[in-house]
Every structure is written in C-alpha cells, then in structure tokens.
Structure 1
C-alpha cells in the first residue's frame, strides 16, 4: 500500500483487511473534504461482514450493492442531521468514491462508485502473455460514455446546460458518488434555511437527483492464471494507464511496489508541468487549486496531482496454498499501524 497527500487534508482513505480465507480491499476517494471517505472507512467493512453473516456466511453481488447503498443512506442521513440540528451545510457538499473488493473463498467480487479503478493482471497462453482487465467502470466525466449516460438520465430539460454547469464549475468530476446530498435530495434545496453557496449553484429548480450512487459490480472465480490486482484512486489513474501500471508490477520486485507506482505517478504529474520530482515534493499541500480568477495556483501540490492511493495484491499465495496461513490483520493506507481486523470477531461469531 502507498498513499500520497496533495490536499491540505488527506481526502483519500483506504484499508486492507486480511482474513484466514478472505481478503477485503477498500479505496475511498474523498471530494471537497474527508468527511464522506472517513464515514465509509468507519462503517463499510463491519456492515459488509454483518450482511455476509446474515446470508449464512455466503457472499454474492447483491450484498455488494446493498452495502454501498447503506453507505449512501447513512452518510446522507448524517448530512441531514448536521443541517437540521446543527445548521451545518458543509456535509451536503462533500462526497467520496467507493471502490471495494472482497475475495471470498476463491471468488473475486468488486464494486465501484466514482473514478477509482481496479485492474486484474493475468498471464495466459504458452508464452505467459500479460493480459490486463479493468474489472469495473470508472464514472469520470472525462469518459464519453459517462457524459452520454448523464444526459440520458435527464431527458426532460436542457441537460447540456446542466452538465455544462457541473463540469465548468468543477463541482464534481464523477457522475456517481457517495454523498453530495445537495445534488441528490430535494430536502436540501427546497428548505429556505438551506443556503446554497454561489460556487455550488446548478441550474434550478431541483427536479430529480443529478448524481447516482449505483455501483458497477463484477465477480469471477479466480484461476491459476490470475497474478495480481492493482487498486488505485482517481488521482493515480489520471496519471498512469492500466497497461503501464500492470507492466511495472509484472516486471518489478514486489518489495515496495505500491510506493514505486505512486512515485511514477508523481514523476508524471511533475513532468506535465515541466518540473522535476525533487521539486514537486517540496511544494506545500493545499485544499484549493484555484485562485480568484479561476486559474490554477501552481504554488500548491494539488495543481500537479490529486491525493493518490495505490494498493497491489498478489494472488499466487492465497490462503491454504503452499502452507500459507495469513495473519488476521487490518491495514490503513495512510497509517503505518497494524491493527486487529474485524474478521476476528466475524470468525469467532461464526464458530459459536
């Protein structure tokens, strides 16, 4: 795992949960703050295990969709309470992507909301040719298919104007996210006491949710040809292609591989602005990349790259293969501490 901070507050959150016969990975790419991504990392894994236990300790795609929906419902309720009881509107303009993966008894399940991405590297054929597969779509407005999806969801008004307003104002870069309640729930826009900052105003009136939290879901039984999975937040994939990342992992030593990928992304970000990596890492962090005139302020890190999270999982030493018995641990992407995973309680309850 590797993480690089660009904003004043680290908006990316990530986790790896290791069980005896299962593995969970989550990447939560925060937007306009870390409130939504912190909410997800605090709740999603425990909720996922609860649903698996209710399903007779079995996993399926429906559970993935349900747990993402729970995060959406829970965080938007948190935003509503913050507004109604504490007169805070900030939570209404905060969101996060949500990329989760669980390998459960040899089957891989992946769900994604936002512009994070997971790619599977396999070696196939006599020559062990590297095959790279992006398992779930990323919902970035840079993707022409996502632009088309957005306009098709809103056929009853000038959708070009509405999309243009979201894109040009830089309100959000993805069509799907957890949170951003203001663009999903009329409760916020119809209350007179809810004041929308000028920077957030989209073409009124509110008629239906502008954004979605519907995840893209993928599953497959892992085979002996599957070698590794690379997980990354949007800040990583904006700078490195699927093929480039997979080639590096396939041909490089495993030690500190995620750090190597993150460094390559930083070098790319620096090169786009014609500076060196050593100069980039000296630039201070900030949560604002625009000046009063709307031009990017190149005196801050966020003008060169977003927060970056990279996780690499190798698949050739799965539990109970070649005597491998993993420790039940929990790892966070921006914290070197190793903690006991919630998998421990899950297994204890399953054995009762």
Structure 2
C-alpha cells in the first residue's frame, strides 16, 4: 500500500518539482489529496503559449470521462469528453477526433470553425459506424454517448467547439486587478429554458420531446443533454431499443433525430487581458460557479491548480452530504457516484509574451487519467499558415 501511495505522490509531485517551489499551504494541499486513490493529476506542464495543469477524479465504477491535451510548437489542443451510458463513446472520441482535426487541417491548409465542425462530424460518423457494426451483438451500444468539448489555440486565436454541458470559461483581467470569468460555451442541457424551447420548436408534433421526470427536465424522459456524439437510438430509427431495456425504451420510434451532433463553435483572438482558460466536465460546474473557479485560479499558484479546483468541488460535494472530503475520499468507485460525477479539469495559462516567439516546447500527447504521455502529431501542421 505504501509503495502505491509513493507512486501516486511521485506522479503528482514530479511536474511540481520541475517548475515551482512550494510553500507550506501548497504542501498541505497536496497532502490532503494524496489519500484519494481515484485522483489523477499532471500538476504543471508546458504548451506553446505558457503552461497547463490537468486533473481527473473518478466516481463511476468504470470511468466515463476521457480527455487529452496535445501540445505543439504553434498550437495547443484540449479535449474533454464526458461519456454517459458507458465509456465507449468518450474513449472513441479521444482516439479519433484529434486525428480527424489534423487530417482536415492539412487538407484545408488551416484550422478554422469549419474544420472543427467537420472533425466533429467525422467523429460522429465513425462512432455511428461502430454502433452499426456491433449493435447486433451489443444492442446497448446504441444508448452510449458523450458530451464533447474541444479547444484549439492556433497562432494566437482560440477556437472552441462544444456538444453537451461541459464548459469552457476564460479568465480575463478587469479593473483593480480583478479577474472576470466569461463562459465561452453554451450548455446544451434540458434544464435550460432556451434548450427546451429549441427542442419544442424543432419537434412541434411531439408533446413529449421534453418532460419533467423526478424533478428534472429530460429529453423523451430519458436524457438531459440535447447534443452529443453517439446516442444512436435518439438519432436513427433503426437503432431504437426494444422494451427489454426499460431505461432507454421509447414509447414510439422516433421519426427524425431528437438529439444532434452539431456543435456550438466560437472564435476569439486572444488579448493581453486574457490570462487563462478552464475546460471542465459538468461535474465541476455542478459544485462551483464560473467566477468561483476563476478566482481560485487567479489567487493561487499555477502548480497543481487543476487539482485545487477538483478539491473545491469535492469539498462542496462532501458538505452537501454533511461529510468532510477526508471521509469522501475513502468511498469506493461506483458508490462514489452517489456523491459526485467523474470530473475532468484542464487549466491553460496564456503568457502573451510568448506569442510569435520560437521557444522549445515539448510536443506531447497527454491522456487524462490513464496517465499515458507520448509524442503529439501536431508537428505535421508546422507548414500551415
């Protein structure tokens, strides 16, 4: 047991030693989380415009959050994929979306909103193809899907594309050195009145397209997110599940897609006042607000900041059950899901003085939670303008 804890401590501490000295409060913060066997972190690494911090905590029996950070000389890619119904869709996105983006960027000679949309579309087509091939032997794969949040920084411009209710927030410096949190993404969740109105306008002949169930608004009484990769049974009539799967049973077959895989996309030329970006699955935002998260990042050392955000969320989750985090971290995976969701957090710091400079940046591919670090394929875009 001690050797396992030592390995975990080393995984969290190694990047810290590399980039920053730690004060007493930082050491206490690390110590308070080392006993959480479901936590994974990379405390501080470099990217083309600064540094990033990355942390994940598991709650489900099998983790459904998959994620990645890809770094290159002129670009940074962040992907947060919050699966539901199983890990297959989020894992598929992690393994394919970035590669589709590289291929399409090469073909188009640049990265753009259209290239991002096409990468999402190719990933959706690929996963639905997998569903089609395996549905006969594993019908429940038709009910597996994933939210998908992607951010790309390409030569000083930020592109964000989103499906579902993961969220990207930018922290910008305002007056009196105060940080201002701005949400860059729109939550595609039936809890939002605008989402319910959008669904009703698209399906005027379906009075049950959104219904309240157990105090929660759900699409067809089943799912909360209105956009996703996968969830084939809510997009293609041929994948409707029979009554032997009551959780996913529809009272009548769909005539047209109820969910969509069309992402919301935005572009922002990064300004000197823009200091950092937070990409996180909805498990974080369930417990802390955009501004609370931005204040934590702004007011604390960079090293381990993603882990610090996780701790804030887990402390809040524990308080809701009249517990302490020290008690919560002893709860096993699976059971832990009754207290909080799988949570992924990536914080990207933006150092504008690095823009346009040729600095040595490791071209890395970091996959969240599974702790694999290898070379990124971003270098194939070196010649693009």
Question: What secondary structure, in the 3-state scheme, does the structure 2 residue paired with 1:147 have?
Answer: helix
- Give per-residue Cα distances to partners, 1:82-119, cap 9 Å, x unaligned: 014xx211210100010001001111000000110000
Alignment of 1:1-352 (within 5 A): 1-56=54-109, 58-84=110-136, 87-125=137-175, 127-159=176-208, 162-164=210-212, 167=218, 171-189=222-240, 197-286=245-334, 300-316=335-351, 319=354, 324-347=359-382, 350=383
Question: What secondary structure, in the 3-state scheme, does the structure 2 residue paired with 1:159 have?
Answer: coil
Separation of aligned partners in 2, 1:318 and 1:26: 25
Deviation of the 1:10 alpha carbon: 0.8
Contact 1:169 1:199 in 2 (8 A): no
- Give per-residue Cα distances to partners, 1:127-176, cap 9 Å, x unaligned: 2332211111011222222222222221012136x534682997322111
Separation of aligned partners in 2, 1:315 and 1:120: 10
Contact 2:164 2:187 in 1 (8 A): yes
Contact 1:4 1:308 in 2 (8 A): yes
Deviation of the 1:346 alpha carbon: 4.2
Of 222-231 and 145-154, deviating more is 145-154
Contact 1:151 1:159 in 2 (8 A): no
- Give per-residue Cα distances to partners, 1:5-55, cap 9 Å, x unaligned: 000011001100000010000000010110000000000111101111111
Contact 1:30 1:97 in 2 (8 A): yes
Separation of aligned partners in 2, 1:177 and 1:142: 16
Contact 1:235 1:307 in 2 (8 A): yes
Deviation of the 1:320 alpha carbon: 5.0
Separation of aligned partners in 2, 1:322 and 1:187: 53
Contact 2:275 2:351 in 1 (8 A): yes
Equivalent pairs, count: 328
The alignment's C-alpha RMSD in Å is 2.0
Separation of aligned partners in 2, 1:119 and 1:142: 20
Contact 1:261 1:310 in 2 (8 A): yes
Contact 2:309 2:345 in 1 (8 A): yes
Separation of aligned partners in 1, 2:163 and 2:219: 22
- Give per-residue Cα distances to partners, 1:245-279, cap 9 Å, x unaligned: 00000111111000000011011111111111111
Contact 1:239 1:265 in 2 (8 A): yes
Deviation of the 1:321 alpha carbon: 5.9
Gaps of 5+ in 1: 287-299
Question: What secondary structure, in the 3-state scheme, does the structure 2 residue paired with 1:174 have?
Answer: coil
Change (3 A) 1:150 1:63: same
